[in-house]
Amino acid sequence: MIFDVAVIGGGVVGGLTARELTRYKLSVIILEKADDVAGGASRANSAIVHGGFDPLPGTLKAKLNAKGTAMMAKLAEELDVHYRNNGSMVLAFGDEQDEKVRELYDRGIKNGIPGLSVISGDEARRLEPALSDTVTSALLCTSSGIVCPYDLNIAAVGNAMDNGAQLKCNFEVTDIKSVGDHYVITNGQERVEARYIVNAAGLYCDTIAAMLGDKYTITAKKGEYMLFDRSEGDMVDRTIFQVPTKAGKGILITPTVDGNLLIGPTSEKTDKDDCSTTLDGLDLTKATALKSSGKLNFRKIITSFCGLRSACEESEDFIIRMSDNSPRCLELIGIDSPGLSSSPAIALYAVELLSEAGLVLERNEEFVPTRVSARRFEKLSADEKNAIIAKDPAFGHLVCRCETITEGEILQAIRQNPPARSLDAVKRRTRAGMGRCQGGFCSPFVTELIAKELGIPETDVTKFGGNSKLLVGKTK
């Protein structure tokens, strides 16, 4: 079979682009190198839907950030994803940074961002009592929000699959050749044929571009984070930034949609496979966050993690264009921050460019834009939960005590598109293992459920695919 479009990369941008393509009568396949979608930048980032005041006016980042943020609430509702319009503040400490805050305000006005105002330090503390006494002013943005990035990613791919798209994981593209009117894409063992390609490979989009004759240089930037227990989740209501620097938007303090508190990220160039946390990085995260608020309780940290962002050496702006050397390939290069915020708008723009390049778009009247999340159970009332348990007793069996996740939700995550095949894949879909004990209690039960559902020995169940097996054998 020759697909109409192959999307290389199963992150949030690739997933939403594939979903947008299924609105039309097209055959679409997503090729992902990892064992699951949301394995790269979409797995570990700040989870912020940026207001859009930071990008330089006139850039793609400015245009797509503003448009994507405006789309996010409706998209999250359609995909049954947690989203909250909590707003944000950018803090200044002293006269020089006060001027920077006013510059950001002016930039946001030029970008057409609603809900912006400059407030004094006292006004900022009235809104957010946990803020430091040293804050002199702040940019208040009421249009920004927070979302679960991997939840959005998984839902986008799942909805695309529900509408006919195919997903092939563990498919690391090693070669692309143009053969007549289509491309042959291979991972060394298997091949996929497609008339058009979308290069949404994130950190590795330069590698894919090189196979098509285009030269870009992508550098990985490491961002280290610290996650606090839910008991700390209401310390601030808004996302709290400091005045940005050349390295990025800096260390933030933010609630998450799941009730935790998050601080980070750092910004340091690193290797593309380096997801380690470091003592220096975490110390810097702590020290910088304390400047915003001295009320952080570091005894309540439950985990730390690292995310990698793709920085393009050729441009600080997004590069979204058809390839110069392969005219049926769309390049999505250097999609760093605000990539998550911009992703719904990037998907629309991607389809527009593909259409201009010759892809025929015929509306798919059977397209269904909605789905029901595996995490929906927690939102229900007691009566609604009891009604579900009466039909399926698995929803009455508690597996993860910290996050109160049931067997029914885990089974739904394994069975629903895109199906979970590892411990981490189940965790991203249900939060089983994300609580205070970090999976210490529920991991054996989740492992048993995965093995039973997939019909494999428990010794073949992995944490995140590949050789990450949890068990080495059985005792007699």
Q: pLDDT per residue over 263-308, tens digit each?
A: 999 999 999 999 999 999 999 999 999 999 999 999 999 999 999 9
pLDDT at 118: 98
**Residues 377-460, CATH architecture:** Orthogonal Bundle (1.10)
**How are the residues of the chain apportioned to helix, strand and coil, as percentages rounded to the nearest 5?**
35, 25, 40
User: Cβ neighbours of residue 191 under 8 Å, at least 6 residues apart?
Assistant: 184, 185
pLDDT of residue 195: 98
> Which residues form the catalytic set?
50
Looking at domain 88-142+220-310, which CATH architecture does it have? 2-Layer Sandwich (3.30)
Report, as an integer, the average pLDDT of 151-173. Answer: 98
Q: Return the domain boundaries, the chain.
A: 1-83+148-217+313-373, 88-142+220-310, 377-460
Going 346 to 347 to 348 to 353, the CA torsion angle's sign is positive
**pLDDT over 60 (residue 327):** yes
**Sheet with 48-49: strands ordered across:** 48-49, 145-147, 83-84
pLDDT digits (tens, 9 = 90+) for 380-431: 899 999 999 999 999 999 999 998 999 999 999 999 999 999 999 999 999 9
- Evaluate if residue 470 carries a pLDDT over 70: yes
Predicted confidence band of residue 475 (pLDDT cuts 50, 70, 90) = low
Q: Which CATH class is domain 1-83+148-217+313-373?
A: alpha beta
Residue 277 bridge partners (DSSP): none
